[in-house]
Amino acid sequence: MTARSGSTRGGNTRSGNTRGGDTRPVDTRAVNALAGNSLAGSAPTGSASTGSASIGSAPGGGAPVIEVRELRKTYGSGDTAVHALRGLDLVVERGEYLAIMGASGSGKSTLLNVLGCLDIPTSGRYLIDGIDTSEFGEAQLGLLRNRKIGFVFQSFNLIPRTTALANVELPLVYAGVRRAERRARSMAALRMVGLEDRAGHRPNELSGGQQQRVAIARALVTGPAIVLADEPTGNLDTHSSQEVMGILDRLHASGRTVVLITHEDDVAAHARRVIRVVDGQIVESRTAWGVPA
């Protein structure tokens, strides 16, 4: 295994994909159908001022929200090729709360990036709500991500020198939501994570825990059915970790599908199911209390 330093993946995560460029027109209809009403028709995020997780309901439907089959991801080629995912299968049902564990370099982030439409596999299938994304181009995947998926990173990935509110608004800017609605929904999302009073602060004026809560508000503001978090507490102290996990717990309780990566048993214990990844494959799936699942 090649060692790779740092948590930032930077640059082109799409290098080495087998699909051509991104020349296809955006099939907005397909993405709309796929995205259901999670953005367009959803209630304002976190409309309850109590901070309860009233953030719109996940759309219905019978198919698993996430289904991957024979997923492979290879970085590079030839002697230096790294096989990050090696024929991985995973089904996540709607409303599940799933933790992914495994040693560093085992492929967890690669998997989550594929699930979050931030990267595409070298081969294999990825279905969201039963619809195969493998023919989607980059623009379509981007739309889908914007409407369906909220992604939280270990290192927060907020835009510096920009207020918390502007950071949270950004996905709505991409989605073409008008300013007044954008503002209202972003403030509601900040309220949901308990940071309404920090809306005008810049990231460097916030603690790590607060920055991660802003990042969660940004992930939530579009009303995504799926929340993916890559070591969301990895850079946080115990207290901030508990706050962040409390928010993820509420998201799960409100019907979201939550998938998170963690190294910590006490964080994984929040999930209902824990899978373990070794060398790009799932070797174990169990409930939080240890029963195979």
In the chain, alpha helices (H): 28-35, 108-115, 138-148, 164-174, 179-192, 208-220, 238-253, 265-268
Counting contacts by CB under 5 A, is residue 74 touching Mg ion? no
* Subset of residues 116 to 145 that bind ligand ADP, contact rule: CB under 6 A: none
- Residue type present at position 259: V
Counting contacts by CB under 5 A, is residue 211 touching Mg ion? no
Q: What's the closest the beta carbon of residue 242 comes to ligand ADP, in angstroms?
A: 23
Counting contacts by CB under 6 A, is residue 107 touching ligand ADP? yes
Among 38, 45, 74, 110, binds ligand ADP (CB under 6 A): 110
Number of residues that bind ligand ADP (CB under 6 A): 16
Q: 267: closest CA among 235, 219, 231?
A: 231
What are residue 123's DSSP bridge partners? 72
Counting contacts by CB under 5 A, is residue 113 touching Mg ion? no
**Rounded-to-integer distance, Cα 206 and Cα 211, Å:** 6
In 161-287, alpha helices (H): 164-174, 179-192, 208-220, 238-253, 265-268
Counting contacts by CB under 6 A, is residue 177 touching ligand ADP? no
Q: What's the closest the beta carbon of residue 109 comes to Mg ion, in angstroms?
A: 3
The stretch among 26-34, 107-115, 121-129, 176-184 that binds ligand ADP (CB under 6 A) is 107-115
Dihedral class, residue 160 (left if φ above 0, else alpha if ψ from -120 to 50, else beta)? beta
When CB distances are held under 5 to 8 angstroms depending on the partner's kind, the choice from Mg ion, ligand ADP, none that residue 210 binds is none
Among 26, 75, 131, 201, binds ligand ADP (CB under 6 A): 75
Query: Applying CB under 5 A, which residues contact Mg ion?
Result: 109
